[in-house]
């Protein structure tokens, strides 16, 4: 976690200062500015949307919740199928037509959000790093590498580095690949408790023969390269890596922090799905809720009531997903294969809300015709008790 240091104060220069010009911060800025609030976003990098470090896979349902139309400019691909590949190389195919999944051009998406925020009246300063923040009785004093400024409230949307629960962060790598032969236009999920570990690997197809491959819990390197080469070759996919990135995934769950003049949102607050680390929608909506509450918060001098609003949107579901992720960790490759067989046999369909509300799928499995009894014979009792406790 990056610590915010204390510093002396000076005159007020915005009503709401937002640290971080990515999905959570820009969503907060857009909504608060539309309410007539004087908002300034302070972004460390020299370009909004860059460097890009995200898979970009989201649901259209989520995009709608963020109030952004799914235009060609921000979308790279529409996903209609996927496969889960297990450690014994068996693969399970899923029809995802009803799941409403799309792949974002994350760079363009962030720029579009910035444009919407600016049109709503927000100011954006790029290439400026927040180095310290001090909460005062009347406001917040912010020191950047260029100046000292102050605001009545601050929204911290500065990403995973500010997430307080260090054990809830895992390393990840993601490579951009140019596919030479056998481009697969669906999502691939790789599960292998020995070679990949307690998280999973992914393949996300972009447009024109490009894809992103990566894994959580791994930093890349030769072993990972070998794993992906052989797993993708088994599916007839041959490629060259053309870009590599490393970044942290937030999987520790939403950290509730109500009240006060400084409110964390997005990855900084753990507003990601602990099952997949996806946080574009859950963090973006977290930012938008903060923006909506800002008028009230300016009057009261604190963000009291935020957690209740976020819980109603995603917070409760994210808490359920902490349990789902724990149960997934308890299962070995054989048990996971048993589960996949069950899900396949039951023909359980994934619809649009399921991508952000994973617990819905588990509920469907548990309440399916033979689901509950079959599941009991596949996974340990402790795990089944935890799952049942969710509903």
Ligand X SMILES: Cc1cc2nc3c(=O)[nH]c(=O)nc-3n(C[C@H](O)[C@H](O)[C@H](O)COP(=O)(O)OP(=O)(O)OC[C@H]3O[C@@H](n4cnc5c(N)ncnc54)[C@H](O)[C@@H]3O)c2cc1C
Q: Which residues contact ligand X (rule: CB under 6 A)?
A: 19-25, 42-45, 53-58, 129-130, 157-160, 172, 174, 214, 247, 249, 266-268, 272, 277-281, 283
Least distance from C-beta 268 to ligand X, angstroms?
A: 6
Q: Which is nearer to ligand X, 276 or 323 (CB)?
A: 276
Tokens of 75: 């979308």
Q: Are the C-beta atoms of 249 and 172 separated by less than 8 Å? A: yes
**Nearest-approach distance from CB 218 to ligand X, in angstroms:** 11
Residue closer to ligand X, measured from CB, 87 or 282: 282
Contact 86, 188 (CB under 8 A): no
Q: CB of 157: closest distance to ligand X in angstroms?
A: 5
CA distance 38 to 98: 41
Q: Is 79 helix (H, G, I), strand (E, B) or coil?
A: strand
Bridge partners (DSSP) of residue 245 are: 174
Collapsing DSSP states into helix, strand and coil, what is residue 157?
coil
Least distance CB 4 / ligand X (angstroms):
9
Distance CA 94, CA 189 (A): 11
Nearer residue to ligand X within complex by CB, 283 or 291: 283
- Which of 26, 379 has the CB closer to ligand X? 26
Nearest CA among 290, 299, 16 for reference residue 149: 16
Closer of 264 and 371 to ligand X (Cβ): 264
What is each CA distance from 89 to 37, 113, 160, 184, 222, in whole angstroms? Answer: 54, 40, 33, 16, 20
CB of 307 to ligand X, least distance (A): 17
Q: Is 340 helix (H, G, I), strand (E, B) or coil?
A: helix
259 phi, psi to nearest 5 deg: 70, 175
CB of 302 to ligand X, least distance (A): 21
| Cβ 273 to ligand X shortest distance, Å | 8
In angstroms, what is the minimal distance from the CB of 238 to ligand X? 23
Distance CA 15, CA 164 (A): 26
Q: Which is nearer to ligand X, 101 or 297 (CB)?
A: 101
Q: Which is nearer to ligand X, 123 or 386 (CB)?
A: 123
CB 342 within 8 A of CB 378: yes
CB closer to ligand X, 149 vs 383: 149
Q: Which is nearer to ligand X, 279 or 315 (CB)?
A: 279
Q: How far is the CB of 25 from ligand X (least distance, A)?
A: 5
In angstroms, the CA 254 to CA 274 distance is 9
Cα 3 to Cα 21: distance, rounded to the nearest angstrom:
19
Write out the DSSP string of 237-304: -EEEEEEEEEEEEE-S------SSSEEE-GGGGT-S-TTT---HHHHHHHHHHHHHHHHHHHHHTS-T
Q: How far, in Å, are 62, 222, 326, 356 from residue 285 at the CA level?
A: 9, 37, 25, 12
Angle between helix axes 358-366 and 316-330 (nearest 10 degrees) is: 60
Decide whether 85 or 160 has the Cβ nearer to ligand X: 160
Least Cβ distance, residue 117 to ligand X (angstroms): 12
């Amino acid at each position: 976690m990056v610590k915010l240091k204390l510093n002396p104060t000076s005159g007020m220069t915005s009503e709401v200062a937002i640290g971080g010009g990515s999905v959570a911060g820009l969503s907060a800025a857009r909504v608060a500015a539309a309410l007539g609030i004087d908002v300034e976003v302070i972004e460390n990098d020299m370009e909004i949307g860059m460097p890009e470090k995200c898979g970009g896979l989201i649901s259209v349902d989520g995009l709608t919740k963020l109030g952004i139309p799914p235009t060609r400019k921000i979308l790279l691909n529409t996903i209609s199928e996927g496969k889960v590949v297990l450690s014994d190389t068996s693969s399970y195919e899923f029809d995802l037509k009803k799941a409403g999944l799309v792949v974002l051009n994350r760079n363009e998406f962030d720029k579009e959000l910035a444009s919407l925020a600016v049109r709503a009246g927000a100011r954006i300063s790029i290439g400026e790093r927040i180095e310290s923040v001090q909460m005062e009785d009347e406001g917040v004093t912010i020191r950047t590498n260029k100046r000292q400024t102050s605001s009545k409230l601050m929204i911290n949307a500065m990403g995973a580095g500010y997430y307080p629960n260090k054990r809830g962060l895992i390393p990840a790598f993601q490579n951009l690949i140019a596919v030479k032969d056998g481009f697969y236009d669906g999502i691939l999920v790789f599960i292998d408790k020995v070679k990949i570990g307690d998280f999973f690997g992914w393949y996300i197809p972009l447009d024109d023969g490009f894809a992103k491959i990566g894994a959580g819990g791994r930093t890349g390197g030769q072993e990972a390269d070998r794993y992906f080469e052989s797993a993708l070759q088994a599916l007839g996919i041959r490629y060259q890596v053309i870009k590599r990135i490393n970044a942290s995934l937030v999987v520790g769950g939403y950290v509730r922090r109500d009240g006060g003049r400084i409110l964390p949102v997005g990855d900084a607050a753990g507003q990601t799905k602990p099952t997949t680390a996806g946080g574009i929608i859950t963090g973006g909506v977290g930012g938008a809720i903060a923006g909506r509450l800002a008028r009230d918060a300016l009057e009261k001098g604190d963000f009291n009531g935020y957690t209740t609003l976020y819980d109603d949107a995603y917070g409760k579901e994210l808490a359920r997903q902490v349990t789902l992720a724990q149960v997934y960790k308890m299962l070995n490759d054989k048990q996971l294969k048993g589960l996949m067989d069950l899900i396949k046999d039951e023909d359980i369909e994934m619809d649009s809300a399921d991508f952000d509300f994973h617990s819905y799928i588990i509920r469907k499995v548990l309440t399916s015709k033979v689901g509950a009894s079959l599941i009991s014979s596949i996974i340990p009792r402790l795990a089944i008790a935890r799952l049942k406790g969710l509903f």
